[in-house]
Structure 1
């Protein structure tokens, strides 16, 4: 499938915190004839872009409504608590949910972590976005728990974060509509899964150039066998006939006759 059949590009949506640059770079090397367009969107809107046909594939944060979707879970992120730099929790390398029991904690409407029971004390309001909640944390109005990638995305000099090992964690996945599994989608799935360019399920590599037929090897010619050299005849002794003298006849009882 070419870029013309997909509107000129392969459109990849991604939720905040996901960094698709590595995969986009591999795509540019393997599928240079089809540009990849990155579509940044709020986590809750990525699936909507897939269903409306505005994106061919997307990185989502689980859980999502999977009806009609193909989903490949990729990795799980550590949850951290974002606090002002002078907050008491910064004295430790990591904190637990119990350590935050008495703290006011923001739960934005786009919260990327799924909670069975929300930690801490609910703050005075629920911000619309994680970015809004970050600003409120900087103002000293409360704390915020988010996946580590979002803490990095919204980094501020007056804020820091600490890991919370016992908190639920967010999982990132690749999703696309199952009935729109095109060759380009398969190409991107192969890249994300780490398949090589020559993988049987990836884009087929260009056929190798025809090699000239090999000429039949010449068999080495057999050299004629050398006959052993003939030993020279013995030369007769000087003054002799060259023959050995016959032995003298013997008489009876083995005596030589005189």
Structure 2
């Protein structure tokens, strides 16, 4: 069954049906089912939960494409992990880069590190370096697989296993939604999954280098992301639409 030409209501209905089914499946079963509905793309940030999904895709030889957003500001440790993961699990990870012209335009308006100065500038940077490349990575896909977990932050506490992404017109699958960090660590140990060494230095959530810090004892997992902003629900817009983020053709960019 494919869903490429299905209507929004049909996709929403299918997502609800799959969400109920996922509750009873293990990770391999969830991913295998996700791959039955057309072209499935997993976008990895190389964080520990995403490494679990990459491992399952490789070990089970599933027909799911693996892509990453190479923003141009990632940690060296993250970049090195891409190659290591490909070799370990026999998978190809497609790199999607921001357009140089758009990065240059952003820098001319806000400054290279202007994201520290305002929420608008930070959203604009995420738009250029992440959202636009994501659109290219998901072009033609019917299923988007992510590593979202409910325990990552309060903003993600209600994450379903499967949902209809109306903005992108596809089915979004979150196979680790109900996994705890303890379960993630157990899988990593059991399957010798390579992980980012920054995790052992206090970085449970790792994004672009200028926008990520180690967390303090007792802080939520994602407290180190865009830590200078006051909004507790801060996101880059990949998973939570942010109205303040300018569009590609916005005159504010």
Is the TM value for this pair above 0.5?
A: no
TM-score interval for Structure 1 and Structure 2 normalised by the shorter chain: under 0.3
TM-score by length of 1: 0.26
Specify which structure has the higher proportion of helix.
2
TM-score by length of 2: 0.26
Specify the structure having the higher radius of gyration (Cα). 1
